[in-house]
Chains A and B, each alone.
Chain A
Amino acid sequence: MSRLYVARNPRVAARCLDGEMMIMSGRDSTLFTLNKTATILWQAADGATPLDEIVEHRICSEFDVEPADALQDAEQLARELASHEVLQISDQPIPQRIPGGPTRDAGGSR
């Protein structure tokens, strides 16, 4: 079974507010907010780390959840975010690029 790679879409605007990410779509300026678990996934989506590793190291280590269930939920979330062009998904590693500069984390308060 192929692995799923996830990367933050550099076209979005994003900021973390009290542990929850707010993201504005680059396509149509729709605003999304992610809960704390989804925020962890989004922040770890570097295009190089497969989703199952993100779930194992970032989600399962922090939350009391079965790895298989967590991965299933994470895949569903990733595909949904990809449908809104907030996240990019691929079965290959995704090179990250922001026009004019290296990829940066969306920082934020607290």
Chain B
Amino acid sequence: MSSLLQEMTDKALALGVPLSVQLDLTYRCNERCVHCYLDHEDHGEMTTVEIKHLLDEMAEAGVFILTLSGGEIFLRKDFFELLEYARSLMFCVKLKTNAVMIREKEAARLRDLNIQSIQISIYSHRPEIHDAITLVPGSLKRSLDAVRFLKSQGLRVIIANVLMTENMQDYSSVRALSAELGVECTLDPTVTPMMDGNRSVLKLGVDQNALRQVFRDPALVGDVDEFCAIPAKASESELDALPCSAGHSACYVSPYGDVFPCVQFPLPTGNVRSRRFIDIWRHSERMNEVRSIRVKDLTTCTQCTHVTQCTRCPGLAFMEGNMRGPSSQDCEKSFARTGIPSANMLSRRRPAPNLVQIRALPTLAGATA
């Protein structure tokens, strides 16, 4: 993050302004990615009018960075109408898409609308792997064609690669492909549970050995020794820090108008169909509960070696049952990085205290002798 953007984020935090919002326009999708956390049925998406009204409210509330995502955003017939409206309100717009529906014409329209970036999911450089994850034959070719169309328009494209067992061996080649295409590349080793709490998709995620390999790849982490170093003891100020930006300067709105602290934090805090966005942001009890949590309030994690360096996701912790608790997936990552088990991992390994006293009481022993 640039220092100026950090300064603006700090200012937004102090003022209580939601600087950044992800708005999912739809959960419908033209791919069926094996690890996806969404229910793709349409349960009553917001209409064009409703979304435009929400965009007005968000601009008024001070939202600057607007990430439009899904589902697949291009499945909405009014997508360009909404995008044009968002840009007329001068949002800094970022898009997340599989890009399957982007051809030359759409790329040119996106250029004319001056969007900030387009993130495209690419799981492998090999069609047999990528298409087996999206479950759509030919999808890699279409997505890569779109990357080229967008790049030729001078747009900033980011290839997003979610790391799973199935594509673990391909991340270096995806990075090489990104470099060849002249676009950025991100790698995320986290598969998230489904929004309804179903955790079955987690089995697709990479194991400890794979995580260790990734965290020791200098091409990804830079200085491996520094990246994998054991963190110093947490200072008072670090314990007073915020766990993450969810609910503080950022939030998420679903296609049905539900507002959450983050896309990975399925705690409903209100619905924009019945309440103004800014009122939910400022006055929702649940949002304020999330907002009240500091690092020092985290159960288990405050006792953990990794507390200052851990990527702990409050949303994943919430899905495990406690928004103040640990997120096991991030414990695994901290362990893979440093070789030191987290406090959460140690507490799960500890045998249960022996509650049954089998030694006979002396008086009773005497009585029976």
Residue contact A110 to B85, C-beta cutoff 8 Å: no
Does residue B89 face the partner (Cβ distance < 8 Å to A)?
yes
Tell me the complex Cα distance, A22–B63, Å. Answer: 11
Contact assessment for B88 and A102 in the assembled complex, using a CB-CB cutoff below 8 Å: yes
Most chain A beta carbons < 10 A, residue from B11, B12, B62, B156:
B62
> Chain B residues with Cβ under 8 A from A104's Cβ?
88-90
What sequence of 0s and 1s flags, for each residue 71-110 of chain A, a beta carbon within 8 Å of any chain B beta carbon?
0000000000000000000000000001111111011111
| Given contact pairs A13-B92, A29-B116, A107-B89, A99 touches B62 in the complex (Cβ within 8 A) | no
B319 close to chain A: CB less than 8 A: no
A31 contacts the other chain (Cβ, under 8 Å)?
yes
By a CB distance below 8 angstroms, the chain A residues around B5 are 31
Given contacts A13-B64, A107-B60, contact A33 B90 (CB under 8 A): no
Q: Is the CB of B15 within 8 A of A22?
A: no
Which B residue's beta carbon lies closest to that of A28?
B156
Chain B CB within 8 A of A17 CB: yes
Interface size of A by CB at 8 A reads: 28
B15-A98 in contact (CB<8A)? no
Which of B15, B60, B114 is packed against the most chain A CB atoms within 10 Å? B114
The one of B2, B4, B112 that contacts A99, using a Cβ cutoff of 8 Å: B112
B81 within 8 A of A: yes
Chain B contacts for A101, CB-based, 8 A: 84-85, 88
Least distance between A89 CB and chain B CB atoms (Å): 19
Contact A100 B81 (CB under 8 A): yes
Residues of A within 8 A of B81 (CB): 100
What's the A-B contact tally at a CB cutoff of 8 Å?
Answer: 84
Q: Does any Cβ of A come within 8 Å of B201's Cβ?
A: no
Does B147 sit at the interface, judged by CB under 8 A?
no
Please determine whether A17 and B116 come into contact, CB atoms closer than 8 angstroms. no
Chain A residues within 8 Å of B113, by CB: 99-100
Q: Known: A33-B8, A104-B90, A108-B59. Is A13-B116 also a contact (CB below 8 A)? A: yes
Does B61 sit within 8 A of A, measured CB to CB?
yes
Complex Cα gap A101–B85 (Å): 7
Docked Cα-Cα span, A101 to B84, in Å, equals 7
Question: Residue on B with the closest CB to A107?
Answer: B59
B:62-117 near A, CB below 8 Å: 62-64, 80-81, 83-85, 87-93, 112-114, 116
B114 touches A100 (CB 8 A): no
For A21, the closest partner residue in chain B by CB is: B90
Residue of A nearest to B156 (CB): A29
Inter-chain contacts of B85 with A (CB < 8 A): 100-101
Q: Is B301 an interface residue (CB 8 A)?
A: no
Residues of B within 8 A of A17 (CB): 8, 11-12, 15, 17, 19, 62, 64
Is A14 at the interface (CB under 8 A from chain B)? yes
Once the chains bind, are A22 and B89 in contact (CB under 8 Å)?
no
Alpha-carbon gap, A32 to B3, bound state (A):
11
- Which of B5, B8, B90 has the largest number of chain A CB atoms within 10 A? B90
Q: Which chain B residue lies CB-closest to A26?
A: B114
Looking at the assembled complex, report how far the CB atom of A68 sits from the nearest CB atom of chain B, in whole angstroms: 32
Q: Spell out A's residues near B (CB within 8 Å).
A: 10-18, 22, 24, 26, 29, 31-33, 98-104, 106-110
14 contacts between A and B (CB under 8 A): A17-B8, A17-B62, A31-B8, A33-B7, A100-B81, A100-B84, A100-B88, A101-B84, A102-B88, A104-B88, A104-B90, A108-B59, A108-B62, A109-B15
